[in-house]
Structure 1
């Protein structure tokens, strides 16, 4: 049992010397003293310190990732704004093309009606002088 406790204490991050002291003080045939209680408290404090350090590292990494995600969101928002501006430009161009096509249509209708009027007037004049 002493070996497995020693290896478990080392696995959770307690240094080797303190792990051997804690392992020895937890032996059932050993009479504990105040010094042994202090050794156990030191082991608990080391575990708490290690936990606090890992929490701080995790928190720092998380804040870094959050900042990166916020920067990416900002970039995406800027791209969306650019795309919206391009869409507005395309809509304006389409409106211009529609207006121009309508103008062409009116010109063709006017030309066609003028041609028909000319043909009819030539036909009427020919009928009148015959």
Structure 2
């Protein structure tokens, strides 16, 4: 049991010397002392420190991801503005086409009408 406890303590991130001391302190044939309580507190503090460190790392990664999302959102807004500009240009060209086409048809009809009248 002591070896598996030692391995488990190493697995959660407690350094080897402290893991060995904790494992020895938890031996049923061993009488605990104040020093053993301090050893257990140190082990608990190491686990808390490692958890806090991983939490801070995760928090920094989330913050970086949020800033990247903000950058992407601003780029998407820029693209939408560009698309809106292109749409307005296409709409203007479309109107200009119909006005030109209407003028051409009007000219053809008026020439045809004048020729028909004077012929």
Q: For this structure pair, what is the TM-score category when the shorter chain's length is used for normalisation?
A: 0.7 to 0.9
Pairwise CA distance, 1:72 = 0.4
Greater relative CO, 1 or 2 (CA 8 Å, sep 6+) = 2
The match for 2:83 is: 94
Structure 2-normalised TM-score?
0.74
Bigger CA radius of gyration: 1
The match for 2:24 is: 13
> C-alpha separation between the residues in 2 aligned to 1:116 and 1:57?
87
Query: CA distance change for structure 1 residues 66 and 11 in 2, over 3 Å: closer, same or farther?
Result: closer
Query: CA distance change for structure 1 residues 91 and 61 in 2, over 3 Å: closer, same or farther?
Result: same
Listed one character per residue, the Cα deviations across residues 72-91 of structure 1 (whole Å, up to 9, x for unaligned) are 01101100100110110011
The match for 1:104 is: 93
Gaps of 5+ in 1: 1-9, 24-39
Structure 1-normalised TM-score?
0.68
How many pairs align?
97
SS where residue 107 of structure 1 aligns? helix
> C-alpha separation between the residues in 2 aligned to 1:110 and 1:87?
35
